[in-house]
Structure 1
């Protein structure tokens, strides 16, 4: 799901890299402009809000039946602030 809109993706390989590539194909120009203007990135989560951050997490999501993912916008600035304070 991207901004509450369901998008169908087809995976050739059950890897995080493939999932990210498929998600980029689902984004439109407005999403990329928003990312640039607001200094945003996204994280991939399953429908239970578990972060998908590895090939194993992708495979587990597919084992649970019909997998669904959503992207959650995240500020890059906040990540930089958190990194500096650690």
Structure 2
């Protein structure tokens, strides 16, 4: 189980790093679904890893971070369907 949790954690790190690299290089925007998916999933993967290791402050941060990303994805989906808020 330890190795699975570590793989999930490292995958989360790569996803968040990829999002940051994409925005910093101009390949993604903060409003793109790809950026939000990378961040939301990366943070969600960090939640499992930080919980496993007992890093509660980091876990709470990543729950919030993931939530922000999934709310942004919901708004992007609504925008793309032409639904007004």
Structures share a fold, TM > 0.5?
no
With normalisation by structure 2, the TM-score equals 0.25
With normalisation by structure 1, the TM-score equals 0.25
> Structure 1 or 2: larger helix share?
2
> Structure 1 or 2: larger strand share?
1
